[in-house]
């Protein structure tokens, strides 16, 4: 079973996302929560990195965190899946290890 | 007491930490003491001004609507760095409209938010007496 990687920091403020992308094995899923969700938007300085990440990893983002921050769920990078809290729990139970990039 | 020029520099995203909310509270308190208040939004701080923030789903207080009270506290100088917006794929249209009524112009409603370049913001920082960072 693969590791679920969780990123909760903005890609413009910290290097958590970069470290995650550098050290996560191919095919292991990445879940963006809290300020980590700012990486989902199109046309940002992080969009190219996310686009590349999507060719190696399934990427999820927590819908409530987008809504809280005023990020339009209809205008995110293609291929990123939005999950609610139930989906968050499901992802954590489907993987026997979690890596939180604090 | 002569009023001083206070600048509040906001560089943090709104809901991941308490900085943004605390800054807004301090700004409103400072403004109540009739100081000359200017706000700057830089880096992830620009996210504080995004429209349509709805925190019901994360169980946190939504303080974003409080920004609209700034005009009533005579806080009408709000500067957003253009470079920070562009890096995040944002423009002024993505930000909530913030206005004030200009008493020197028959209380005409005017925009409080000004998108400025890094160079312009550097000059604004230079003109202050007190700078507070959040």
Query: The CATH number of the domain where B49 resides is what?
Result: 3.40.1260.10
Quick one: pLDDT band at residue B1, thresholds 50, 70, 90? low
CA-nearest residue to A69 within chain B is B53
Map residue A41 onto helix, strand or coil.
Answer: strand
Task: Give the per-residue pLDDT at B69.
Answer: 94
Placement of tokens 């560089």 in the chain: B11
In CATH, what is the architecture of A3-101?
3-Layer(aba) Sandwich (3.40)
In contact, B79 and B122? CB cutoff 8 Å: no
For residue A58, give the 3-state DSSP assignment.
Answer: coil
Give the domain range for residue B87: 5-133
Q: Does the distance separating the beta carbons of A69 and B13 come in below 8 Å?
A: yes
pLDDT, tens digit (0-9, with 9 covering 90-100), for A31-47: 999 999 999 999 999 99
What pLDDT does residue A98 have? 96
State the 10-residue block means of pLDDT for chain A, 102 residues long.
93 98 96 98 96 97 98 95 98 95 95
Tokens standing for residue A99: 């890596």
> Rounded to whole angstroms, how far apart are CA atoms B44 and A46?
13
The model's pTM: 0.94
Q: How many residues does chain A have?
A: 102
Give yes or no for B13 touching A (CB within 8 A).
Answer: yes
Q: Does B54 touch chain A (CB under 8 A)?
A: yes
pLDDT one-digit tens code per residue, B68-114: 999 999 999 999 999 999 999 999 999 999 999 999 999 999 999 99
Q: Using one digit for the tens of pLDDT, what is the confidence trace for B13-70? A: 999 999 999 999 999 988 888 889 999 999 999 999 999 999 999 999 999 999 999 9
Q: Interface pTM (ipTM) of the complex?
A: 0.91
Average pLDDT, chain B: 95
Do residue A68 and residue B50 have CB atoms under 8 angstroms apart? no
Instruction: Test A67 with B47 for CB contact under 8 angstroms.
Output: no
Which residues have C-beta within 8 Å of that of residue B50, sequence separation ≥ 6? A69, A70, A71, B14, B64, B90, B94, B95, B96
If you measure CA to CA, which chain B residue comes closest to A70? Answer: B53
Q: What is the pLDDT of residue A1?
A: 63
């Amino acid at each position: 079973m693969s590791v679920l990687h969780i990123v909760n920091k903005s890609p413009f403020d910290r290097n958590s996302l970069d470290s995650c992308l550098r050290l996560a094995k191919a095919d292991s899923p990445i879940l963006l929560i809290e300020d980590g969700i700012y990486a989902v938007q199109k046309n940002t300085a992080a969009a190219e990195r996310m686009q590349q990440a999507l060719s190696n990893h399934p990427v999820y983002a927590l819908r409530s965190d987008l809504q809280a921050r005023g990020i339009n769920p209809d205008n995110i990078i293609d291929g990123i899946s939005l999950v609610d809290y139930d989906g968050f729990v499901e992802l954590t139970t489907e993987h026997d290890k979690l890596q939180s990039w604090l | 007491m002569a009023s001083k020029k206070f600048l509040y520099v906001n560089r943090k995203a709104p809901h991941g930490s308490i900085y943004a909310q605390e800054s807004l509270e301090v700004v409103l308190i400072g403004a109540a003491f009739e100081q000359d208040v200017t706000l700057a939004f830089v880096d992830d701080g620009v996210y504080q001004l995004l429209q349509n923030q709805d925190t019901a789903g994360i169980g946190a207080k939504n303080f974003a609507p409080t920004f609209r009270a700034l005009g009533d506290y005579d806080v009408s100088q709000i500067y957003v760095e253009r470079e920070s917006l562009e890096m995040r794929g944002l423009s002024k249209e993505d930000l909530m409209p913030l206005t004030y009524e200009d008493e020197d112009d028959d209380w005409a409603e005017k925009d409080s938010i000004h998108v400025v370049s890094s160079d312009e913001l550097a000059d604004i920082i230079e003109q202050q007496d007190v700078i507070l960072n959040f």
